[in-house]
């Protein structure tokens, strides 16, 4: 048995085989072609090869798992010959004069979304199948090996680390746990693990190598230990721990439908942070009162080109309708820094965290910004949407945003397009500058949401993505907590509400402090909703408010 020590970023136990993330040549590029007939012939040849591969897989699976379990490969063969699927690809190649790889990938995504939205459970299950066959054909066309997570059973996913553009494309049903060589507690891999409610370990170092591909592993998210090829005694011990953890999770389910109210009657809204529409199931399952942070940049990360107004509108509308009147706070595009997108052609920067990112891009590339705002306001007619703007440092930025918002509203009015004229506008408090001038900012917006991840790094001058600086990263730093308290006081003085949407919102060592500050809303990963509800319902601070504040603020 081999034991590797890292840092646990989400608790729980995972037991399964280890599979390393495999990288290929990257995103599918759209190319103009001169000979559509030749391109269709390329597609037909690749399709035939894919059917041949699936036939081999079927024969192998019959021997290993029986005919019933092998049938899926025959289903995939039939789907590849489906007339609607084939015509959609060949028509796209012919009419748009584009390369087969892009046509297959786009058609696969479109058909997958269509199946996923169907009422029939069997048809919904075909969404993953059509995506799988499309990826197989694209791999053959591009001459690359299959990339990403290549598995047909849930695994412990290992990697050096995962970029946002990689995490967003994972088949999350196939991931039992994340283990990485590097990373930080605020990396996207760690945030995704918390969203998915699965154990994760970062910082395992170079001891985590691909020689362990396919080996049995145990992940202890609480202690940060990864056991490779565990002995029988260790395996038995951790199966028991896994059962205990599951029992605790089931007890938490009894808190569904209960109020988020402290022992002394203080109410707090508990919202959820999500990255895309597919996370809504986890939001509803964990009984969140709303969505406090929808990271809209993942719409851009999922695409090979700028998502259109219509594409964005459909996603925002779907989220608003599915949440059925519960508030959905959508953060406008927040790329740059650690979230890079090739087609934006952002310049290479020495210090990207301090550079051209988030609202700075939106205020200098207003066509991109207005497209998103139009989509957001159009979707506001279908639910309770609020819009939140990131990385604010000056009152002038807020005033300019409001001018652009008014331009968008006028356009929609002129076109007779309905929208909610009372849509709330808020800003993120994630720079010390915003916290210090929060008194001025509060007069111009409807709410604040504190982004503690960035506020911590900017306040303490510690890059939150740099694993070498973990020991210097102090999320309970008094300077940070004083800034949050300052923003809370200024929000309430000016009659607006304040929430926290950074990872610190789920830190139960600070729940008392946030109640004492009068924080109105905590937005956390869906899996943290019920444990946090339990903590709030067991906490009373009325007679200790000043004592608690003195302790954390100094």
Per-residue pLDDT tens for 172-204? Answer: 788 999 999 987 766 667 777 777 778 999 989
Residue 429: CB partners within 8 Å, gap ≥ 6? 392, 435, 438, 448, 449, 450, 451, 455, 483, 484, 487, 498
**Cβ atoms of 27 and 200 closer than 8 Å:** no
Task: Select the more confidently predicted residue: 468 or 154.
Answer: 154
Q: Where residue 218 falls among pLDDT bands split at 50, 70, 90?
A: very high
Residues 392-412: b if buried by 16+ CB within 10 A, e if exposed: bbeeebbeebeeebeebbeeb
Per-residue pLDDT tens for 114-137? Answer: 887 777 666 766 777 787 788 889
Q: Which has the closest alpha carbon to 16: 196, 157, 224?
A: 157
Task: Select the more confidently predicted residue: 162 or 224.
Answer: 224
Task: Select the more confidently predicted residue: 169 or 525.
Answer: 525
**Cβ atoms of 245 and 13 closer than 8 Å:** yes
Per-residue pLDDT tens for 57-115? Answer: 777 666 654 566 567 778 888 999 999 899 999 999 999 999 999 999 899 888 888 88
Lowest mean pLDDT: which of 58-62, 325-329, 413-417?
58-62
The average pLDDT across 454-460 equals: 92
Residue 336, pLDDT above cutoff 70: no
Joined tokens for residue 243:
């059962």
pLDDT of res. 158: 92
Task: Select the more confidently predicted residue: 135 or 333.
Answer: 333
Beta pairing class for 225-228 and 216-220: antiparallel
Q: How does the average pLDDT of the chain come out, rounded?
A: 87
Side-chain half-sphere CA neighbours of 223 within 13 A: 13
Residue 363, pLDDT above cutoff 90: yes
- Catalytic residue list contains 528: no
Residue 361: CB partners within 8 Å, gap ≥ 6? 333, 335, 336, 344, 346, 368
Q: Which has the closest alpha carbon to 154: 17, 281, 21?
A: 17
DSSP H helices in 421-477: 432-436, 438-441, 452-460
pLDDT of res. 500: 97
Annotated catalytic residue, options 76, 362, 476, 501: 501
Joined tokens for residue 455:
């506020």
Side-chain half-sphere CA neighbours of 515 within 13 A: 32
Phi-psi region of 129 (alpha: psi -120 to 50; beta: other; left: phi over 0): alpha
Q: Where residue 166 falls among pLDDT bands split at 50, 70, 90?
A: low
Lowest mean pLDDT: which of 139-143, 163-167, 325-329?
163-167
**Cβ atoms of 450 and 501 closer than 8 Å:** yes
**Cβ atoms of 272 and 195 closer than 8 Å:** no
pLDDT of res. 439: 97
Q: Which has the closest alpha carbon to 515: 474, 490, 547?
A: 547
pLDDT of res. 340: 62
Lowest mean pLDDT: which of 59-63, 157-161, 337-341?
337-341
**Cβ atoms of 283 and 346 closer than 8 Å:** no
Straight-line distance from the first to the last Cα atom of the chain, in angstroms, rounded to the nearest whole number? 47
For tokens 């001025």, the residue is 440
**Distance between CA atoms of 408 and 444, rounded to whole angstroms?**
18
CA–CA distances in Å: residue 518 to residues 67, 486, 491, 499: 61, 11, 10, 10
pLDDT of res. 408: 97
**Percentage of residues in the chain with pLDDT exceeding 70?**
91
Q: Which has the closest alpha carbon to 410: 370, 445, 444?
A: 370
pLDDT of res. 24: 55
Residue 168, pLDDT above cutoff 60: no
pLDDT of res. 10: 83
Per-residue pLDDT tens for 480-514? Answer: 999 999 999 999 999 999 999 988 999 999 999 99
- Catalytic residue list contains 477: no
**Percentage of residues in the chain with pLDDT exceeding 90?**
54
Residue 148, pLDDT above cutoff 70: no
Greatest distance between any 2 Cα atoms in the chain = 78
pLDDT of res. 60: 67
Q: Which domains does the chain have, with CATH numbers?
A: 2-23+149-252 (3.50.30.10), 36-142 (1.10.274.10), 256-553 (3.20.20.60)
**Distance between CA atoms of 164 and 363, rounded to whole angstroms?**
23
Per-residue pLDDT tens for 241-277? Answer: 999 888 877 877 888 889 999 999 999 999 999 987 8
Joined tokens for residue 369:
């910004």
2-5, strands of its sheet edge to edge: 2-5, 225-228, 216-220, 13-20, 155-159, 175-180, 200-202, 7-10
CA–CA distances in Å: residue 247 to residues 12, 241, 253: 12, 10, 10
Residue 443, pLDDT above cutoff 70: yes
Annotated catalytic residue, options 76, 188, 362, 528: 188
Residue 165, pLDDT above cutoff 70: no
Per-residue pLDDT tens for 471-481? Answer: 787 889 999 99
């Amino acid at each position: 048995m081999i034991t590797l020590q890292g840092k646990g970023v989400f608790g729980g136990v995972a037991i399964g085989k280890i599979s390393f993330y495999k990288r290929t040549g990257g995103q599918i590029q759209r190319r103009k072609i001169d000979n559509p007939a030749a391109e269709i012939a390329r597609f037909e040849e690749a399709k035939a090869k894919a059917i041949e591969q699936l036939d081999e897989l079927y024969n192998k699976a019959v021997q290993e798992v029986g005919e019933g379990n092998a049938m899926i490969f025959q289903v995939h063969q039939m789907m590849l010959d489906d007339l609607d699927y084939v015509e959609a690809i060949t028509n796209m190649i012919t009419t748009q004069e584009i390369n087969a790889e892009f046509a297959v990938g786009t058609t696969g995504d479109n058909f997958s979304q269509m199946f996923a939205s169907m009422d029939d459970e069997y048809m919904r299950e075909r969404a993953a199948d059509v995506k799988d066959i499309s990826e197989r054909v694209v791999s053959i066309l591009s001459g690359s090996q299959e990339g990403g997570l290549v598995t047909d059973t849930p695994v412990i996913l290992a990697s050096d680390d995962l970029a946002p553009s990689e995490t967003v494309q994972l088949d999350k049903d196939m991931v039992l746990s994340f283990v990485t060589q590097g990373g930080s507690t605020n990396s996207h891999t760690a945030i995704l693990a918390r969203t998915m409610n699965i154990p994760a370990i970062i910082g395992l170092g170079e001891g985590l190598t691909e020689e362990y591909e396919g080996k049995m592993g145990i992940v202890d998210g609480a202690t940060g230990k990864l056991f490779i090829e565990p002995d029988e005694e260790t395996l038995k011990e951790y199966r028991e721990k896994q059962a205990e953890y599951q029992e605790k999770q089931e007890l938490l389910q009894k808190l569904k439908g209960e109020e988020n109210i402290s022992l002394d009657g203080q109410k707090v809204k508990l919202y959820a942070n999500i990255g895309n529409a597919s996370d809504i199931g986890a939001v509803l399952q964990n009984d969140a009162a709303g969505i406090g942070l929808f990271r809209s940049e993942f719409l851009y990360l999922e695409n090979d080109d700028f998502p259109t107004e219509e594409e964005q509108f459909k996603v925002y509308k779907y989220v608003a309708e599915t949440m059925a009147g519960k508030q959905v706070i959508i953060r406008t595009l927040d790329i740059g820094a650690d979230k890079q997108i090739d087609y934006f052609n952002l310049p290479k920067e020495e210090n990207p965290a301090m550079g051209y990112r988030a609202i700075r891009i939106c205020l200098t590339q207003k066509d991109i910004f207005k497209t998103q705002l139009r989509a957001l306001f159009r979707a506001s007619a279908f639910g309770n949407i609020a819009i939140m703007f990131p990385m604010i440092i000056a009152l002038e930025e807020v005033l300019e945003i409001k001018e652009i918002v008014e331009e968008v509203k006028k356009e929609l009015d002129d076109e007779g397009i309905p929208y909610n004229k009372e849509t709330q506008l808020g800003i993120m408090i994630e720079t010390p500058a915003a916290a210090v001038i929060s008194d001025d900012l509060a007069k111009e917006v409807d709410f604040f949401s504190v982004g503690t991840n960035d506020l911590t790094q900017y306040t303490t001058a510690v890059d939150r993505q740099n694993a070498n600086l973990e020991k210097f990263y102090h999320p309970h730093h008094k300077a940070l907590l004083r800034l949050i308290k300052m923003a809370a006081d200024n929000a309430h003085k000016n009659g607006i509400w304040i929430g926290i949407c950074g990872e610190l919102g789920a830190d139960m060592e600070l729940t008392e402090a946030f109640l004492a500050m009068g924080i109105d809303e905590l937005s956390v990963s869906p899996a943290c909703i019920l444990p946090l509800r339990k903590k709030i319902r067991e906490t009373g601070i009325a007679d200790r408010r000043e004592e608690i504040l003195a302790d954390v603020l100094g």
